[in-house]
Amino acid sequence: MNPSDPNPPDPADLASFAGVDGEPPVPVTVWHVTDLRRRGETRSGDEFSPALAGLLVALYTRPGDTVVALGHDPALAGAAGAQGCTYVAVDDPADLADLDAVAGTVRLIVVPPRTTHRIRHNTAAAVDLFTACRTLTVPAGCTIVALATLPTGATAYTDLTPLLIPAARQAGLEWLRHIVAVTGALTDTPESTCTPAEAGVSIHVDLLVLSVRQDTHG
């Protein structure tokens, strides 16, 4: 498979996407997540489905933790509440510096595609973002970076990881896992009457799971 192919990769071929030049390879996990929505319901590219948000919160937090999102995500907020976690959303990466009140309780930070696209040509901004995440999270906490297809049509994983992973390492975060969340949108509308946007179209989101390196916290 050609890594520069702008088309989303087949999950069966994702083993070739498990590493970045100069970085050790990481495990790849594929999640098949059903995205249930009603006719006419839309969701921005920065919002997770309830099923995906629930999986992430269940796997990477425990009751009493704090979940931080860059940009409000209703599904993530709901999943955090169901898990017994505090949910905090900030509009801008610079706002992370103002979250001293929850420092030491943050076990999960979620960075949406909008933020990663904004910093994709700015290594210093990426390092600053990941440094703020490292400072906020508990030693076992995780920062999850979500990547979606770029406006140019380029595959976000291929385009962004060569910048993001070294920047994360420079900030003291370690790349633990690459999750490929494959979602199939199921609607309550008969397929023959659906528009393409309403039909069950499978898409995928790449999730980079980063955690604090043991020798750099603090």
Exposed/middle/buried for 197, CB within 10 Å: 0-12, 13-18, 19+? exposed
- The model's pTM is 0.79
- Which residues are registered as beta bridge partners of 36? 186
For the chain, list the strands marked E by DSSP. Answer: 28-36, 66-70, 86-90, 106-111, 137-147, 173-186, 202-212
CATH code, residues 22-212? 3.40.50.150
DSSP 214: T
Tell me the domain boundaries of the chain.
22-212
Distance CA 185, CA 181 (A): 12
Q: What does the pLDDT profile of the chain (218 residues) look like in tens digits?
A: 333 333 334 444 444 445 666 677 888 999 988 765 544 455 555 688 899 999 999 999 999 999 999 999 999 999 999 999 999 999 999 999 899 899 889 999 999 988 888 888 899 999 999 999 999 999 999 999 999 865 555 567 888 888 999 999 999 999 999 999 887 654 444 443 444 344 444 478 899 999 997 765 44
The pairing of strands 202-212 and 137-147 is antiparallel
